[in-house]
Amino acid sequence: MYSTKEKRFAIPAKGSRVFLVPERDQNPSRGLEQEDKRGMLAELEDKRGKLRQESLAFKDRRSQLNAEASKWAAKRNELNKATKELIDKAQELKKLRDENNKNVAESKKERDEFNEKTNLLYARIDEIRKKYNLTGERSIRDLRREIDHLEFRQQTEVLSPDKEKQLVDKIAALHSEFRSRKEQLEKNEELRKLLDEAQAMRDQASDYHDQVTKFAELAQQYHDQMIATFKEADQTRAEADAAHKEFVKAQEAADEQHKEFIRTQREVRDFEKVIVGLKKKNRDIKEDRAKEVAKREAEEILTHFRQGEKLNTSDLLRLQRAGLV
């Protein structure tokens, strides 16, 4: 008779040996333990899967932020390049302004020297005029000075039409008086030579004065352009600074996403180690049970062999698998 814990392994063929194998373990506590392990394994695999999804999300977000940081870096570099070009341009304009200011100073010096020579000649003319009793209400030098003063006012001041007409008429009257006084003085040979020389000196002074005006206008133009260019450079520099702040912001956010990616990757590996360990343990348990079954079959074969029964090829293979032969 067979015990209640045993059952036949299979329906025997004619002439085949019948083996008794242990029935599946019906221990409720062991079954529950196996069920708990399967539930734990499923839960661990589920958490690992969720962590993988989170890790991929962190990785994608990190890539997006790195791309955004690269975009801001490129814009910042472009603006920095533009700023440098503008500063270089402003420096060139400054150099041109300074060169023209230098020309202004040199031309003023020449103009003033010729004006001084002119004044000395007119002073000499006044001395001769007094010597020969060629007197008048005003000296030719005073007339020249007043004409120069009024012409300067006409060129530099903004006047109403009426005042400008009055000024033009006064200048014309002084020119007429100057020519008349000059013609009178030129009757004297010595005075005529001095007057010609004084006029030549005055013409030279006038030429240098024109250069002063020209260089001063150019210097002012370059100065205005320089100021505008520096302001534009300040604007692009501010834009570059703003772009750099956005770059740093995106880069720091990308770094945070990278840290989260590394953290979740580490946790995924930790879960994998536990899952692999549990699976290996389950396989070891199954293998141990299979070995136990094979050992019992082999022991039963040996028992029958000792009782005088013959062994067939299948019996020998079982004994070999059990490590008994």
Q: Model confidence at 84, in pLDDT bands (50, 70, 90)?
A: very high
**Residues 6 or more apart from 267 whose CB is under 8 A from it?**
51
For residue 174, being part of any structural domain is answered with: yes
Of all residues in the chain, what percent carry a pLDDT higher than 90?
43
pLDDT of 19 higher than 50: no
DSSP conformational letter for 8: E
What Å distances lie between residue 112 and 10, 98, 122, 157, 204, CA to CA?
134, 21, 15, 22, 10
Which residues, listed in sequence order, are joined to residue 6 by a DSSP beta bridge?
Answer: 22
Query: Which residues constitute the domain of residue 134?
Result: 100-238
Residue 292: what residue type? E
For residue 215, being part of any structural domain is answered with: yes
CA distance 154 to 144: 15
Ramachandran assignment for 55, one of left (phi > 0), alpha (psi -120 to 50 degrees), beta (any other): alpha
At 204, which helix (H) or strand (E)? helix 189-306
pLDDT computed for residue 230 by the predictor: 97
For residue 226, being part of any structural domain is answered with: yes
pLDDT, greater one: 25 or 292: 292
Tell me if residue 21 falls in helix, strand or coil: strand
End-to-end CA separation in angstroms for the chain: 30
pLDDT computed for residue 322 by the predictor: 65
Of all residues in the chain, what percent carry a pLDDT higher than 70?
82
pLDDT computed for residue 132 by the predictor: 64
For residue 19, being part of any structural domain is answered with: no
Tell me if residue 6 falls in helix, strand or coil: strand
For residue 66, being part of any structural domain is answered with: no
What global pTM score does this model have? 0.58
CA dihedral 274, 276, 282, 288 (to 10 degrees): -120
Half-sphere exposure of 50 (CA within 13 A, CB side): 5
Average confidence (pLDDT) over 61-76: 96
**Residues 6 or more apart from 301 whose CB is under 8 A from it?**
17, 19, 311, 315, 318, 319
Q: Model confidence at 30, in pLDDT bands (50, 70, 90)?
A: low
At 35, which helix (H) or strand (E)? helix 28-131
For residue 150, being part of any structural domain is answered with: yes
For residue 105, being part of any structural domain is answered with: yes
pLDDT of 255 higher than 50: yes
What is the per-residue pLDDT across 182-200, written as a single tens digit (0 to 9) for each? 777 767 778 888 888 998 9
pLDDT of 64 higher than 70: yes
Mean pLDDT of the chain: 82
Average confidence (pLDDT) over 111-140: 80
DSSP string, 45-102: HHHHHHHHHHHHHHHHHHHHHHHHHHHHHHHHHHHHHHHHHHHHHHHHHHHHHHHHHH
Tell me if residue 325 falls in helix, strand or coil: coil
For residue 317, being part of any structural domain is answered with: no
Reading the block at residue 191, the tokens are 């005075």
User: What ranges in 132-188 are assigned the alpha helix state H?
Assistant: 140-156, 161-185
Q: How many separate domains does the chain show?
A: 1
